Every structure is written in structure tokens, then in C-alpha cells.
Structure 1
């Protein structure tokens, strides 16, 4: 979807109308829209790609949009070039762990494109405005920024409310997934509950956090970390800093802010495992980047599960 704003009109000596489009405005408009598409893809896939890569990818797509309207480049409007652009944007914007992960991102990217583009076109249709085609690309004259913003808001609302429902299984036992976590040559296995309202991530890196009970993860932890939880000081930042000062594992642990219903915001001690995997539909799949948050309380009163995962972690 390529957006243009009002340019400048003039006439040649022969009386032929000529429209001037401002390339810098076109580039900025498409930079913003491409970033929104990348952001939606990132959220749906749970990919931990940093924001700067999303912006770089969006910039490449915006340059392509500019070349589409320049004379002498009609070949760029052909289908193979559009596919190549999508592949290049994904390669630049996301961390890809394999072919399956790449195809998942490819499908989600086009799904986000159709969703945002369809929403914007649908809203614009009711404004009874015209659409022109240049080099095989749709151009909307005087496309109001308010429609773009409203379309983005609509897509975000759909993601926030409908995406968790789409991933929700009807039977409760299908919401529980076996998981394995490995650290320092050891590993543990437990059952994790899919919490569709859980969006806990590290605010710095954006990496999703899997919450595991301390008693389940205890055997993996270094003695100094184990002592922190045994003494009930897992939220005492000053004490944790003092204990971890000389630990060789200090670079693997961090504090993640979180809050639970009825409680103010707290801190969750989390670590980066050597590996983590999840069993879904009978198949074990490696989880990409994930942090393991340690909770010193039970997560289930009936002890059906001992960990919490979010939809982004499900393959």
C-alpha cells in the first residue's frame, strides 16, 4: 500500500496537465506505514528483533515505493520484484532461525499488509474518493492522515482482542504445554499454561518472558541465586546486586518489571537459558529468544502447571 499526499499541478505548453509529487513526503509516509506492518508482524510472530532493524527494513520498502513512481522503472512493479522486496524486508528486519520461521514471518507479513491495507481502503471507499494506478501500484490522492491513523488503531485493537482468541483452545488441557529449560549443562521439564492475556517482555530487549516456579527451576540455579529465593529476597534489588556482584552468572540475569492483579508493579528476577523448547501438536520445537522469570509462589492452586507462557512463544 503506497500513500501519496497532495503535490503540485501545472500545465505544459500543449495544455497537458502534469502532477508533481513530493518524493520526500512519499518516502516518509511509506516509511511510517512499512514500520507499522513490521511492528504488527513482530508482535504476531513473537520475534525479538530490535526496533532499529524494523526501521531499516521500512526504509528499504519506502525507497522502493519512490522508485515505483519514477519514470523508467516499470519493471519494478512486476510480481517477482515485489516478492523479492518482501523477502529483503524480512531478512533485514527480523531475526530468522530457519526456513520454517522465515515462512511464518512471510505469511504474517502479508497477512498484516492485507489487514492494514484492506482496512484503510475500506474506510477510504466510504469517502467516495478516487484511486489511480501508476506502474501497477495503487496511489490514493490526498489520502488523509487521519484515515491512516484510524486504520492502524483498528488493526491494533483487532490484534489485542482477537489474536488471543484465535490461539485459544476450547479444551483447558490443550492450554497446557510441556516445556524444557536448559542451563549450565542441566535441564528440567515442566508443564506450562498458555496465558493469552500475558504479554510480559523485557522492556529493554523486547524478549518474551516465561514465568516458572522457583521449586521447579531450583536445581538449575547457581547457589547464590538459590539463596536469594530461599531467603525470600527476590524483589530486593539492593540485596540481589550485592549478592550477584562477584557471580560469574551476572551477565545472564536481569530484573524485569511486572505486575499481577491486585498488586502494584514489582520486579521479577529472570535469566537467559542456554536453550528452551516447547511441545505443541506432538512436536518439540526450539523456542527462539526467551527469558525465564522465577516466581517464588505457586502459579496453580491445583498444581496442574508450574509455568506460564504467552501466545508469542507458541510455534
Structure 2
């Protein structure tokens, strides 16, 4: 009975480690293959309990049966699995003195719960780090020319921003009002603060020379909420950094919700800025 329990414990922990490794490395593997690999490895490690050869053989079988026996796989997935194994093993070992007096069932439940929670936490942190690195690649320095004024900004190219001005079909970008408030022309600032989205086509608060460059847009959020906003056609937008580009005669919408902008950006750029 002890042998069967040892195989069961090893299989469950092996499966958790394999699933964690699969998620981290982004490799698709069927669950039954992971389970089969976890069982075979758990069986071998139970037979050759506390021997170096058994540990090495169990590890190779765990990686090879789950992901293949290729050298590249052993190097990539094997490294992640090895680090996760040492982390989890060290964590459980450090808590072992506090659990020796508990029943086998409580001991097993606690260890399994700790393994699930710790690996889930690491995976969550890893995904956030990966997302952060990916977002940083879309950060650019911008120089916006609007109504003959120039603003130096930090922009973020949002692949989810596909908003366009319906008549011309030109892309629409989003600009933090707070980022440019001090440098805005007085007549534009007064107009923005006076304009009422309940009566959106009433634009008398803006100077006459701005009228040809103003468009009233209906915007839709991811949550399916709609709102009315004013878009202004700018003269030029220059992007610097990894992406060098000059954009002419597109539209920008002022927004007060810049706290939601990724990477502390001051301007959310249209996805076509990547082209």
C-alpha cells in the first residue's frame, strides 16, 4: 500500500511540474501525454527510491516522454522543470518539520495545495513579466504637431486600438489631456472644457479656424459601452526609437483617463503605427 501511495504522490507532483513547464515554455502537449509521463517517472522514482541513478532516469523519462528526447527540448523544458523542482522541493523540505506530526492525509493535502499555489503564483508573475517585456517593445517617443504647437510625448502602440474616423477612414489616436494641458492653446483648452457630449455637434466654443479639423466620433469600449468624443486632425506625428515614422493628417482624441495607459504612456497610438 505504501508503494502505491508513493507512486500516486510522485505522479501528481510530476504532473503539476509538467503542466507548469508547458505553460511557461508555451509548448502544446496533450494532458494524457503529460499524465502518462508523470506516471512512468513516478513509478521509476518509487522503485529506485533515494538513488542518484533513479533520480536521473526519472527526470529524463519525465522530460522525454512529455516533450520528446531531443537535446533542445531537454535543454529548454528541462531547465524550467529542474528549477521548478528544486524550488518546490526546497519549499516543502523547509516546512517538513512542522508537518511530521500530522496524518498522512493532511500531510499530502497540504503539500499538494502548497505546490499548486506556489506554481500558480510563479506562473502568474512570469506571465506579467512577459507581458511587460512585450509592451515595452511597443513604446516609442513621439512628437505631435497640432494647431501649430509641438508636444513631445511617450507613446504606446496599442494593437487593440483599431479606431478610425468614419468619413476618411484615417486612424484615431488617444492623447492624455493632463500630459499637454499646460501647453494647449487657451482657445482649445476652453473649448474642450466647455464642450458637452450631450449636445456634441454644438461646437461654437471653438474658434472658426478649428472647425474643419474637428470630427464627432462614437467610440465603443471593450465592455460594449459607447461614448461621444471629439477628434482633432493633427498636422504631423513623428515616431522615434525602434520604429521611425512620420504620420500626417490623422486624428487624435483627448482623454482624461491616462492612468489606464500602459507603460505610463501619454499617448495611445493606432495599431497601424506599426506598419
> Normalising by structure 2, what TM-score?
0.46
TM-score, normalising length: structure 1: 0.41
Larger Cα-atom Rg: 2
